[in-house]
Amino acid sequence: MDVPARLFRAVLVGIAVSCLTWVSAVAATPVPNLKDARLAGSYRFERGGWTYVHLQGTPQQIGFQHGYLLAPEIADYAHVLKVETKHNTHRDWQFYREAGRTILWPHVDSEYQKELQGIAAGVAARGVNLDLWDIVAMNGEEELADYYIPWLDRNSHAANAYPEPKAPGKCSAFIATGSYTKDGKIVIAHSNWSSYAEGERWVIVFDIQPTHGHRILMDGLPGFIDSGDDFGINDAGIMITETTISQFIGWNSNGIPEFARARKAMQYASSIDDYIAIMRKGNNGGYANDWLIGDRKTGEIAYLELGLKHVSVWHKKDGYFISSNFARDPALIRDETDGFDATDKSSSPNARRIRWEQLMRANKGKIDVPMAEQFLGDHYDTFLHEEKADQRSLCGHVDQAPEGVAVWGHGPYYPDGAVQGKATDSDMAAKMSFVARAGHPCGENFYAKPFLAAHPEYDWMKPILKDMIAGPWTVFHSGEQK
Ligand SMILES: [Zn+2]
């Protein structure tokens, strides 16, 4: 075979292999047909690397449908969290179950207690060996691992031989309105930054039609009652997302878990002020975020920086807010972060902040959803002044960063970064719709085998790390059938 023919064949084989991988990645276990009134009206289907679930009814029904339809995915994700928490926080899963039962559960509204019980009943009906405290621990894992445990260690003055877990840097996001967008209405977009083991499973689209409150369309994780990375819209016109506050320290065990507040705000907020009030009430400090909130009814956008000691809110009817894991308020940075340096241009949050500002200003008056998709896949590193997919690009590829990101506890080449992206605008939100891409928003694939071969220090991830194959940008809307 001559060289071009060999190349051609190699390309064909490559395409075939990636297609096969993609098909197998989305192939779902068929859901057994169970005659149970609690399942009435619910269904699931797969598209573009995502699994769409429609849930409706009372909290018990929504929970049971969730647990039953996603039982294999919930079992798989529980395994991921058990492996990650054991390695990263040196606590076994029993610690999380116990903390979920004693610290989180008493502060969860009865509506969501019933939904969590429903999820446990649903997975049990599929023969999955997880109980209520596993489901509560899963929902609370992020806030327990990276907020409660560091607080516990500091307050008990634990002689901890291990590096302390740290508040993570999760996500890149913007919201724009008025003279910044093409049609003058709101555009909102978000990429989820997570470990690849988590992110390649963060591909559920939840269409929830509850008996009380607003209808919700959001992305999420199997077994979780809130979005987790927090991208969603409701039928009262509220559009939300967030990114975490890097190096945040603070926790209140008597507060309401973040996952419960986030779900309640999504379900019950009819205005920006409602959303902010629900997030603030009983704040436990867990998963402290900068929230981007829009109301398509008014075109107004807002930014909520939710610390425990310091809370700031900004509103705009014309303009934008960007977010990439940096706090804005100097008082919050001083009192509630572990020394976040807002002047260090080599840091991921600050480098992405500069890039967001560049993109917003350069595209004033032109921003729409297709442009938002491009922004989420952007690879410009403003510190190096070059196109380079790494820890500083809006589409994060920490696995390609020799430095890792120490302030988030990520060593060199840690397999973490942008794992999926979503965008919507006011008109799409009016139809309860958004567009989403599974995998890196730029469309690049991640392959676990060569990565693990090159980085044996991450061998411990072998049981949970799989290929992360990018799907196409895919539109979803509430109530759609297969
Ligand atoms: Zn990328």
CA of 313 to the centre of ligand 1 (A): 31
The string of DSSP letters for 234-258 reads ETTSEEEEEEE-TTB----TTSB-H
- Residue 287 region, left (φ>0) first, then alpha (ψ -120 to 50), else beta? left
Ligand 1 center to residue 394 CA distance, Å?
8
CA contacts within 13 A on the Cβ side of 449: 1
Q: How far is the CA of 74 from the centre of ligand 1 (A)?
A: 27
CA of 84 to the centre of ligand 1 (A): 24
Sign of torsion, CA 211 212 215 219? negative
Give 62-107 pLDDT, tens digit per residue: 999 999 999 999 999 999 999 999 999 999 999 999 999 999 999 9
Helix axes 132-143, 110-125, angle to 10 degrees: 120
Which residues have their alpha-adjacent CB atom under 5 A from ion ligand 1? 389, 395, 440, 442
Is residue 117 helix, strand or coil?
Answer: helix
482 residues of the chain, pLDDT tens digit each: 343 444 344 334 334 334 433 333 334 678 998 889 999 999 999 999 999 999 999 999 999 999 999 999 999 999 999 999 999 999 999 999 999 999 999 999 999 999 999 999 999 999 999 999 999 999 999 999 999 999 998 888 665 556 677 888 899 999 999 999 999 999 999 999 999 999 999 999 999 999 999 999 999 999 999 999 999 999 999 999 999 999 999 999 999 999 999 999 999 999 999 999 999 999 999 999 999 999 999 999 999 999 999 999 999 999 999 999 999 999 999 999 999 999 999 999 999 999 999 999 999 999 999 999 999 999 999 999 999 999 999 999 999 999 999 889 899 999 999 999 999 999 999 999 999 999 999 999 999 999 999 999 999 999 999 999 999 999 999 999 87
Model confidence pLDDT, tens digit, residues 377-399: 999 999 999 999 999 999 999 99
Cα–chain center distance at 37: 32
What's the 378 CA to ligand 1 centre distance in angstroms?
7
Verdict on whether the full-model pTM lies above 0.85: yes
For residue 130, the CA-to-ligand 1 centroid distance in Å is: 35
Structure tokens at 143: 């806030």
* Identity of the residue numbered 233: I
